[in-house]
Structure 1
């Protein structure tokens, strides 16, 4: 009898758990940040109040891709890629250090999330928190020295750590439409020719996409 109960419990657990996938496009806004620039042969400098545009639908667009395992209406374990882009748009001070400072093949967050879907009538409300690493692909020219080529995978590098707080809405009607707002925070050291630029990056994201289930 005990074996039967245990078997039924395992079957019930297996039925409740499932795999899911979500893909979304979106828009970002980035807070100004101070970047410390360390470059061989030059004095260290701080680019104060550096501003970055997202240009989210230009070229290869901003996107998020999320795989999850768990309960569609409960706890989920997620692996998420956020493909964000950064285009330098000026600074309050020392902006002339950068001839060009773009991260267009991705200021990529690779995150492990915990999420919990709450049933709210016809929709699910899904708060989530995530931690992980940042993998940038810079294309820069700093003090006349260039680094990075668009589309060349050799310029991806492990560039820091980061995390997110997010709140999503899902409508479970076959293919699942979703909306989400999220805040990301990361500290990244981005390679440049003969050195690096490092600082904190803070962004707000709004996404819209589809998922299953």
Structure 2
């Protein structure tokens, strides 16, 4: 029995030592086309009164500041990885809709910043040099709130507004041992509860859809 226990312990130790050798770090940068479907906004106007309306958000991905993201992954083995991701996404209220509500500006554009802790699964050596992957993450939303009312109250700054989550599906293509390109679909949800100057508030749940393309560095 003792020999069996020692043998099992030795096997476990050898596996644990072998794991770091198979580990891989990956740093990815991406941009793409990001949109946001309608969502309802509600809250209190600075100075008094309340509002509730459905907004058809615009993404404007390639206008300044542009949509982009950065993801760091630690692949523990050829299948499973964990990491951290930051996405600078954006939403603008259309001019006619914000004006009808009494706002000079109504946007989260520098940006609707999302930070998540991710877990991902990949399938190497399935499609030649292509590696499909799936993943998801949970985290927080820290948007730059840019809201101004027609009565002169202006809110302009970063706020923590609530929890966030993301889902990812894509595939990468190895250019060589160090670099890969990739394309993916990404869905992001954020619950936002922002404070407005003058004791006002803004609440909205925003969902974004994005088609990303980018470059990864492995080391």
TM bin, normalised by shorter chain, reads 0.7 to 0.9
Corresponding position: 1:19 with 2:25: yes
Who is 1:104 aligned against?
109
Who is 2:206 aligned against?
201
Separation (CA, whole Å) in 2 of partners of 1:136 and 1:197: 12
Who is 2:3 aligned against?
none
Q: Secondary structure at the match of 1:127?
A: strand
Larger radius of gyration: 2
| Poorly superposed stretches of 4+, deviation over 6 Å | 91-94
Q: Is there any run of 5+ residues in structure 1 with no aligned partner, and where?
A: 149-154
Q: Secondary structure at the match of 1:53?
A: coil
CA gap of 1:162–1:37, structure 2 versus 1, over 3 A, is: same
CA gap of 1:138–1:60, structure 2 versus 1, over 3 A, is: same
> CA-atom RMSD, angstroms?
2.0
Who is 1:152 aligned against?
none
1:70-108 Cα deviation digits (max 9, x unpaired): 246311101000100122115769833222112221101
Decide whether the 8 Å contact of 2:145 with 2:159 is kept in 1: no
Shift of 1:10: 2.8
CA gap of 1:169–1:211, structure 2 versus 1, over 3 A, is: same
Decide whether the 8 Å contact of 2:137 with 2:167 is kept in 1: yes
Who is 1:156 aligned against?
158
* Structure 2 counterpart of 1:10, from 4, 11, 16: 16
With the length of structure 1 as denominator, give the TM-score of the two structures.
0.88
Which stretch has the larger CA shift, 17-26 or 139-148?
139-148
Separation (CA, whole Å) in 2 of partners of 1:86 and 1:45: 19
Shift of 1:176: 0.8
State the aligned residue count: 206
Decide whether the 8 Å contact of 2:22 with 2:78 is kept in 1: no
CA gap of 1:180–1:94, structure 2 versus 1, over 3 A, is: same
Q: Is there any run of 5+ residues in structure 2 with no aligned partner, and where?
A: 1-5
Q: Secondary structure at the match of 1:60?
A: coil
Corresponding position: 1:44 with 2:50: yes
Q: Secondary structure at the match of 2:174?
A: coil
Q: Secondary structure at the match of 2:101?
A: helix
1:171-204 Cα deviation digits (max 9, x unpaired): 1233110101011111101332222210111111
Corresponding position: 1:134 with 2:129: no
Separation (CA, whole Å) in 2 of partners of 1:71 and 1:86: 35
Q: Secondary structure at the match of 2:17?
A: helix
